[in-house]
Structure 1
Amino acid sequence: MARLTARFWIDAYLARLRVQDIPAFIVVHGDDTAGSILVKVNKLDGQATVYHRSYNLMEDTREWSILEQGHDREVDASIDRQRGYDPDIWVIEVEDRQGRHLLDQPGLS
């Protein structure tokens, strides 16, 4: 089975967010082909959540799960730690007061 490159997935994700008028930005540019992706959802009230894709061994699927949630500074510190482990990582920041991220929609897992 062919795998999408990180850059292709990110471009498609950003396009999907634009259609819904949800602002999002590439904060950290990772490896174009195989970089891991973190999605930070900034609710613009000092609170944020960062999501990462994890592998569900029991169901043989990938799913988005919460890596860190809380004050924006704590979430940023968590992202910095992840960047220390993986220099090829991507960070996408979504800014939405309602906390919308679309990661639960079909085609984004």
Structure 2
Amino acid sequence: MVRLRTDIFVQALIRRVSATGAFATVARKGALEAGALFIIVDRLDGRLDLYGPAPQSFFMDETEMPADRFFMPLVRESERGKIEERLVSESRFDPDLWVVEIEDREGRSFVAVSDSDASSGRP
């Protein structure tokens, strides 16, 4: 199944966020077609969350892979410094990554989040 280009997905995400009255911006622009997307959710109270792509290993085979992108929490209710550290680490692995920052008091990510909390990648 062909996946939606990252730049188009990001544009749609920003529109979805804006339609609810929250704010979103591209904090880092990566590869147009296939850059990995990370999402920072700023709850506007000092707590931030970081979501990243859910590993494809979450899906048994290609027939089970969703059409939409799935994300998983990487860092929850943390300070900006820890989020930035994690993004620096991720960018060493994938320099073409995207970062979208959402400001939402309710802490919504506006993307499909995996039920499995295999994140344990909390710093």
TM-score (norm: length of structure 2): 0.77
Match of 1:67 among 68, 74, 78: 74
Shift of the alpha carbon at 1:77? 1.1
Q: How large is the RMSD of aligned CA atoms in angstroms?
A: 1.7
Q: Give 5+ residue unaligned stretches, structure 2.
A: 114-123
- Stretch deviating more after TM superposition (59-68 or 7-16): 59-68
Shift of the alpha carbon at 1:2? 2.4
- Stretch deviating more after TM superposition (58-67 or 78-87): 58-67
Shift of the alpha carbon at 1:11? 0.6
Q: Which has the higher strand share?
A: 1
Match of 2:97 among 85, 89, 92: 89
- Stretch deviating more after TM superposition (16-25 or 96-105): 96-105
Shift of the alpha carbon at 1:83? 1.1
Q: Supply the AA of the counterpart residue of 2:71.
A: W
Q: Supply the AA of the counterpart residue of 1:41.
A: V
Q: Supply the AA of the counterpart residue of 1:45.
A: D
Q: Match for residue 9 of structure 1?
A: 9
Q: Match for residue 110 of structure 2?
A: 102
Cα distance per residue 1:19-69 (max 9 Å; x no partner): 111101100000001100000101122211110121212373352111122
- Stretch deviating more after TM superposition (24-33 or 68-77): 68-77
Q: Give 5+ residue unaligned stretches, structure 1.
A: none
